[in-house]
Amino acid sequence: MDVSVDCVVFGFDNDTLKVLLIEQKQPDTVHLKTQKAVPGDLVLDNESLDEAAKRILQELTSLKGIYLKQFHAFGDPNRVRGLKDQQWLRTFRVNPERRVLTIGYYSLVKLSEFKPKAASFAGKTYWVDVYNIPSLAFDHNEIVHKALLMLRHELMADHIGFELLPEKFTLSQLQKLYEIILDKKLDKRNFRKNILRTETVTALEEKQQGVLHKPAQLFTKK
């Protein structure tokens, strides 16, 4: 069996929660109708799963120290059913008939700092609203959906939200992030009480600049 890692990369642009998709690579010769997919690759011979996930991320961007979490193994023998998927496998895989198990990871990147690598192995990349994902290759829609559920869970339990924000952020930005991930409105005062109680962030001696209203206190992760 082949084993791959697929990485659901989340980013946040102050307005929507996005997922990074790549255009599947095309052969130079034939024209193949491409699909979008979550970045992923086969695990190499001497590589742990975590290392594979890290490598895949670094093939897309040069960021280091990105938040990465394994969340589920997808092993249905029929997870590759689509015609296009099989065509693609026949074109790009040494053993196209071989069953592929994939380990799902999700990662949180600061969109502000994200620069896709020029010569990215994967060709074009897209940031797509997580609540409006097109039909993807393989079982990637299911993978993204499950990643979102797990992210919600972990956001509540471990307050990792700031991983999606710039180093310095305001509590309003953080609140908006929570609201969008959890898909519900939160009360401002209660939200602040909660976040400050968890002590996952600390106030800086610094304020927002260049806004046309009262500038907010900046925070950073503790």
Binding of a copy of itself at residue 49 (CB under 8 A)? yes
C-beta of residue 102 within 8 angstroms of C-beta of residue 2: no
Q: How many helical (H) and strand (E) elements, i.e. helices and strands, does the chain have? A: 5, 9
Q: Which one, 36 or 159, has the nearer CB to DNA?
A: 159
Q: Which among DNA, a copy of itself, none contacts residue 49 (Cβ within 5 to 8 A by kind)?
A: a copy of itself
**What is the residue-wise DSSP string for 104-120?**
EEEEE--GGG--B-TT-
Q: Of 18 and 140, which has the nearer Cβ to a copy of itself?
A: 140
Residue 103 contacts a copy of itself per CB under 8 A: yes
Find the shortest distance in angstroms from Cβ 160 to DNA: 17
Does residue number 45 form part of the binding site for a copy of itself (CB under 8 A)? yes
For residue 144, what are its two tokens? 């993204």
- Nearest residue (CB) to a copy of itself, 72 versus 168: 72
- Interacting residue with a copy of itself among 48, 62, 194, 198 (CB under 8 A): 48
Q: What CA–CA distance (Å, rounded) separates 199 from 7?
A: 29
Stretch that binds DNA, among 21-29, 50-58, 100-108, 188-196 (CB under 7 A): 188-196
Site for a copy of itself in 70-99 (CB under 8 A): 70, 72-73, 75-77, 99
Contact 4, 98 (CB under 8 A): no
- What's the rounded Cα separation, in Å, for the pair 166 and 183? 21
For 50-132, where are the E strands, in sequence order?
Answer: 67-74, 100-108, 125-129
Q: Binding-site residue total for DNA (CB under 7 A)?
A: 19
Q: How many residues bind a copy of itself (CB under 8 A)?
A: 18
